[in-house]
Amino acid sequence: MVLDGKMFRRVMSHFASGVTIVTTRCKGKPYGLTVNAFSSVSLEPPLVLVCIDKRAISHAKIIESGEFAVNILSRDQEDISDLFARPGLRQKFDNVQYDERKTGSPILDGAIGYLECRLKSVYTEGDHSVIVGKVVSLAVGGKADPLVFYQGRYCNVDLRMATIPQFSDTSETHLLYNYWSESFGW
Ligand SMILES: Cc1cc2nc3c(=O)[nH]c(=O)nc-3n(C[C@H](O)[C@H](O)[C@H](O)COP(=O)(O)O)c2cc1C
């Protein structure tokens, strides 16, 4: 079966995600791009992954520097998301406020959370690389709603409508949920 690329994108766009900016510092210069292909991988040790297009400038820079940070965007940061999604743009950081913590990768002002990582593994698959990092420092920012990406658009979530998953007390899922919520401080 020959898979239609448009259909693949369309179906994937129905998976709502948060939006992050993945940054790095290479030879003293900051680099970064907008990424929604971000996931946690392991709790012990703490690992996360991002999938990055091999053609992105930031791809080579992350691999060269061996470090990166994942900045989780708030719903006020649509502009920054658009800015960092512009391929090949050199001056992405000119008008953006950021800070440095442990690795030197930019931590953007206004992000609702960040994770700084040391590169652990790179798996090249098709036109992207799955970049796995070990988390070395992390924090949550102020209270703000997340930026959400769905069907190629930014959207808001109404957190007043948020519900906690309901599991029976004895189910393994419930125990797992408790474990997660304690570990992650939900
Ligand atoms: C909402 C959104 C999510 C994106 N997610 C990814 C992603 O997960 N991986 C990726 O390689 N590019 C993603 N992109 C595209 C990159 O941000 C874009 O190609 C970027 O300009 C590359 O920057 P660079 O070449 O300066 O490194 C996304 C763009 C948008 C708008």
Ligand 1 center to 151 CA (angstroms):
15
Q: Compare 23 and 144 and report the one with higher pLDDT.
A: 23
Ligand 1 center to 34 CA (angstroms):
4
Q: Is the pLDDT of residue 15 over 90?
A: yes
Atom 25, ligand 1: residue with shortest CA distance: 56
Atom 21, ligand 1: residue with shortest CA distance: 87
Mean pLDDT of the chain: 92
By CB atoms closer than 10 A (0-12, 13-18, 19+), residue 68 is buried
100 within ligand 1 shell (Cβ under 6 A): no
Helix (H, G, I), strand (E, B) or coil at 185: coil
Helix (H, G, I), strand (E, B) or coil at 165: coil
User: Percentage of residues in the chain with pLDDT exceeding 90?
Assistant: 76
- Give the pLDDT mean for 66-91: 95
- Give the pLDDT mean for 105-133: 98
Homologous superfamily (CATH) of 5-160 is Electron Transport, Fmn-binding Protein; Chain A (2.30.110.10)
Ligand 1, pocket-test mutation among 12, 31, 35, 124, most atoms within 8 A of CB: 35
Residues 137-181 have pLDDT tens digits of 999 987 889 999 999 999 988 777 788 877 666 666 666 666 667
Ligand 1, pocket-test mutation among 12, 21, 24, 34, most atoms within 8 A of CB: 34
7's enclosing H/E stretch is helix 5-12
Q: Is the pLDDT of residue 65 over 70?
A: yes
Ligand 1 center to 20 CA (angstroms):
10
- Give the pLDDT mean for 47-59: 98
User: Percentage of residues in the chain with pLDDT exceeding 70?
Assistant: 90
98 within ligand 1 shell (Cβ under 6 A): no
- Give the pLDDT mean for 28-42: 97
Residues 80-108 have pLDDT tens digits of 999 999 988 989 999 999 999 999 999 99
Asked if residues 51 and 130 have their Cβ atoms less than 8 Å apart, the reply is: yes
pLDDT of residue 3: 84
- Give the pLDDT mean for 62-87: 97
pLDDT of residue 175: 65
String of b and e for 87-122 (b: at least 16 CB within 10 Å)? Answer: eeeeebbeebebeeeebbbbbbebbbbbbbbebbee
DSSP 8-state assignment for residue 50: E
- Give the pLDDT mean for 106-129: 97
Full-model pTM:
0.92
